[in-house]
Amino acid sequence: PVNSDDYLMLQEANESVARIMKIARDLDGVISGEHGIGITKLEFLPAERVTAFAAYKRRVDPDGHFNKGKL
């Protein structure tokens, strides 16, 4: 958990996420999420992945009922 009112804690958490995402990519891992790709992980996805995920989400959830705001 991160206290978003604590600027230093928030910065440290963001740096930790960036390190973790780099390690995942370096190990040929895939950035994904159990309940969708939200704002934390979205910035770490290459554009072609975002496009592919968005196309898939439109096919399986054309009315946008599931996990609003997530990919």
The HSE-up count of residue 39 (CA atoms within 13 Å, CB side) is: 3
Contact 31, 25 (CB under 8 A): yes
pLDDT band at 70 (very low <50, low <70, confident <90, very high): confident
Q: Give the pLDDT confidence of 6-16 residue by residue, as tens digits.
A: 999 999 999 99
Contact 70, 37 (CB under 8 A): yes
Q: Give the pLDDT confidence of 11-68 residue by residue, as tens digits.
A: 999 999 999 999 999 999 988 777 767 777 888 888 898 899 889 989 999 998 888 7
Q: Is the pTM of this model over 0.85?
A: no
